[in-house]
Amino acid sequence: MAAITCPNCGADLTAPQSVRIAEYHFGHLEKADQDIVEGPGFTYHRETPDTYTLLCSACKRLVRTLPLKQG
């Protein structure tokens, strides 16, 4: 079986800690009545993530974006 390599730099992606997986969460902000000492003045409402990406640890570039499947 051929090794899986990064299309950008050619690094071996089957090695330990060779990829970083980033999951994207989409959502929205709502204004909150808070004092500056209490918080940032907004709340974040997270929605269901729909994609994640694989990033090469060697060159820090995008390898692939894949959809998340609900299971």
**Residue 53 burial by Cβ neighbours in a 10 Å radius (0-12, 13-18, 19+):** middle
pLDDT in tens, 23-48: 777 788 898 887 777 778 888 888 87
Q: What is the pLDDT of residue 16?
A: 93
Please give the model's pTM, rounded to 2 decimal places: 0.58
Are 54 and 5 a contacting pair, CB within 8 Å? no
